[in-house]
Each structure stands twice: as structure tokens, then as C-alpha cells.
Amino acid sequence: MRILFVRPNIGRLAEGAYIDEGRMEPLELAVLASLTPRQHDCLICDDRVEKIPYDEPADLVAITVETYTARRSYEIADEFRARGVKVIMGGFHASLLPGECAEHADSVFIGDAESLWSEVLDDAHRGCLKSVYQGTVGNPQAGGVLPRRELYSHHDYLPLSLIQFGRGCKYACSFCAIHAFFRRHHCVRPSRDVLREIEQAENRYVFFVDDNFLSDRDAAKSFLRELVGKRVRWVSQGSIDMTLDTELMDLMEASGCIGHVIGFESLSPENLKGMKKAPNLIGRGWDRYQKACEILRNHHLQTWAAFTLGHDHDTAESITEVADFAIENKFCVAAFNILMPYPGTAFYERLKIQGRLLYDGHWWLHPDYRFNHAAFRPANMTADELTEACWKCKQRWSRPATIFRRFWDVKTHLRSPLRMAVFFDFNRLVAKEVRRKQGMYFGLKHASLGTAQTTGS
């Protein structure tokens, strides 16, 4: 069979195609291709940069669906199915809302592909694809599977290899799609497999795309001990309770860690309790993260702080304070994200019961919903006020004077030429992308844009 793996784009700008300049390798496509027995031909298509080859022969189209790309995924699937090509969908959104995806696909795959993908292909080959497959969750790339990176060699991605050390997270934050999908399950790959993959990727710069790299601290430590001396420079995502473990922090520094995306979420302990963000509350008394930030800086880590704004104790003023806090702490990058009700999360269900969801409760499909706009009624302001407050934080963050002020930190950004480059390259990139994406519609077909484009970007 000839199988086409597709990663859909989010949407389209009013003035034309949206091409994500900070795009990274589509790891899930290379992993899916590597799980595919070699008798099948694999092609990948990244809708962020290339046209969808609707009229080229394909026996099966496999689309990876996230909530933000659901609308676009359905457009792509409908086009293929109109041509008689079978479509299967998988990924986070497909796993959390299989019923919705089933309206646009011949088959929906729930969970991680590893355990069942070859069975799906056998069924497809015999012409008896089932409507639903229930895979398991966890054991990423079991058996030492190495992603087929040669498939994305013709694309221009950031010079960073995406690699999984583990998947899932032991925490249960109420707004988090990771918890909805993994249900506190967390598993890591054997260190030797990950080290082999680093060699295969032939790149000193690695992004471990774990949801919480430090969810299993013992496993992380044992891997990092083996990574020391390999001359790798790496970033990942982790919860702030990492700073409670001195040995772990020392190992991160020694093994080449440059920094992490860390979910600070909020400066209000009431908000943190409400969202069940346990890692931000355990270990030491509430000091507004001061000790944790000091430890991160002492290990020369460049922090990418992520905030979710619009919790029930937030006000327009408290959101401004979040931006003050991020600037004072000289973070490398900060994401002032509007809190989003992801389907399948406890937060989504609570808002639904309280009648606070906007866009008919399906913001990801609604033709009027626009990227980075509030999709629910916050407790202490209007949805528009929340959208505006977050947008102001983003604008302030990226002003030249603010960037310069943040840059001036000998312990982190000024510590080495690599860190200086990371600071400037990513601040430039993030500022540009945030501006371009703000208010973008989802999908390519949109009446208000006056176009009904049916091919890719």
C-alpha cells in the first residue's frame, strides 16, 4: 500500500497562507512511518509548508489531529474521501473526541499507535478497516524503533532534533490535555534507545518533547548520568518541582541542559489549587516562585515560562502582574496563553456544567473562533477583556526595551554565545509568530475571508 501521513496546519491568515517560520520536525509522522512494515510505501506531508497531494495515488491517508488543527484536518479528510481514498485519524483530539472525528474519517485510532498500527494496516490491506481502534497509551517507540527522519529531509525545519525520552505525566492538572489522555500514566524509554536515537539524529541540539521530562526523577537522573559527556545541548519541558532536587538540577546542568518550558500558570495559590497544579505548590512555602527561579538561574537555565490566564481568581490587574513577574525574572521566553477549555478535561466539563462555554462549546470548529481569543466566560471579566489583557502582555513582552532588559543576565542569557543566540533567535521568532497568529481563523475554508481554498498552503 501507499500510505500518506499528514500533519495539518492550524489555519490561514487573512492575507494568505500561514507558513509557520518556527516550525519543528513533525516527529509523530516519522514515528508512524517507522512503525509501518517496510512492504508499504510511506510519504509524509506537512501542511504547514507544502500542498496536500490530493490527486496523487494513495491507498490510505493517516491524519494526526490536534484540537487546534481539527477543523483543517476535517477539510483535508473530506477532500480525500470525496476522491474515494480511505482516511484514518489519530492523535490527541481523535483520542479525546473519537465521535467527532468519525464524521470525517473511515476509521479513528484512539491512543498511541505503537501497539496496534500494523494490525490496522493489515485490515486496510484486506479492505476491512474497522471504524475504531483502541490502542494503549505509553511505551513510546517500544522495541527501539527509530523515527524515519530521512522522510523530512527535504523540509526546512528549525535545527533541533525532536526526541521523546518519555510520555505522559504523574500530575493531574484540571485544564491539561496530557492528563486527559494519559490519566497520570507516565513512562520512559530505555536510556540506550534514546542515546541511539540521538546518534541517529546527528544533531547536537535536542528538544526532548516530553510533557514532563522530570515526572519520574529517578529515571531522568539515570538517563542524564549517561548523557553527561556526550556534548549534547538540550531543552525540554518540566514541572517546577524539579528545583526541589539538587542532584537532578546538577545533572541537568552537567549534561548540557539549556532550559525548560515550565508551567508557572499563575501567581495565585488559590488559582493553582483550583486547577490542581500540585507541582507548583509542593515542597516549600508559597514565595511566588522566588527560590525556584533563583535555583534555575544558578544552574544557568534559560526558562521558557508558560502561563495560563483567565482562571477564576484572575482579574485584568493580576494578569498585568504576571507580565511584571516574567519581566522581572528575565525569562528567556514567556507564553501568556489564554486558558483554553480542551475537550476531555475536567476544566472543560466544569465550564460546560456552569454554562460558561462560548462558541457552542466547540470553539475548535466554530467558524467565528479566532486563535488566542477567550473561548469561555471568565469569572471576573468579560471574554473580550481576557483576550485583550493577554494580548497586552504579549505586546509588552516583545518590546525592544523589555527584550533588552531581560537579556541583561550574566547567569543565563549572557553566560555563553550559544545562550545569547538562543535568546535573540527565539525572541525574534516568537515575537513575529505571536503577531502573525493572533486572531487567525482555523481551517482554510472560511466564508469571511472570501476564499474557499481547497488545496494546501
Binding site for ligand SF4 (CB under 6 A): 169, 171-173, 176, 178-179, 211-212, 239, 263, 279
Least distance in angstroms from the C-beta of 200 to ligand B12: 15
From candidates 3, 45, 76, 162, binder to ligand B12 by CB under 6 A: 162
179 binds, among ligand B12, ligand SF4, none (CB under 5 to 8 A by kind): ligand SF4
113 binds, among ligand B12, ligand SF4, none (CB under 5 to 8 A by kind): ligand B12
Return the residues of window 362-391 that contact ligand B12 according to CB under 6 A. Answer: none
93 binds, among ligand SF4, ligand B12, none (CB under 5 to 8 A by kind): ligand B12
From candidates 45, 49, 52, 67, binder to ligand B12 by CB under 6 A: 67
Contacts 24+ apart (CB under 8 A), 34-38: 34/141, 34/145, 34/146, 34/147, 34/148, 35/113, 35/114, 35/117, 35/118, 35/145, 36/3, 36/117, 36/118, 36/121, 37/118, 37/121
Residue nearest to ligand B12 (CB): 90
Q: How far apart are CA 40 and CA 21, in angstroms?
A: 32
Q: How far apart are CA 85 and CA 77, in angstroms?
A: 9
What is the per-residue binding string for ligand B12 in 44-63, x denoting contact by CB under 6 A?
------------------x-
Q: Rule CB under 6 A: say whether 161 interacts with ligand B12.
A: no
Return the residues of window 27-46 that contact ligand B12 according to CB under 6 A. Answer: 27-28, 31-32
Tell me how many residues contact ligand B12 (CB under 6 A): 36
Q: How far apart are CA 27 and CA 13, in angstroms?
A: 25
Q: Rule CB under 6 A: say whether 307 interacts with ligand B12.
A: no
212 binds, among ligand B12, ligand SF4, none (CB under 5 to 8 A by kind): ligand SF4
Cβ burial of 428 (10 Å; 0-12, 13-18, 19+) is middle
173 binds, among ligand SF4, ligand B12, none (CB under 5 to 8 A by kind): ligand SF4
Q: Point out which residues bind ligand B12 (CB under 6 A).
A: 10, 23-28, 31-32, 62, 64, 66-69, 88-93, 109, 112-114, 117, 162, 164, 167, 176-178, 209, 211, 337, 342
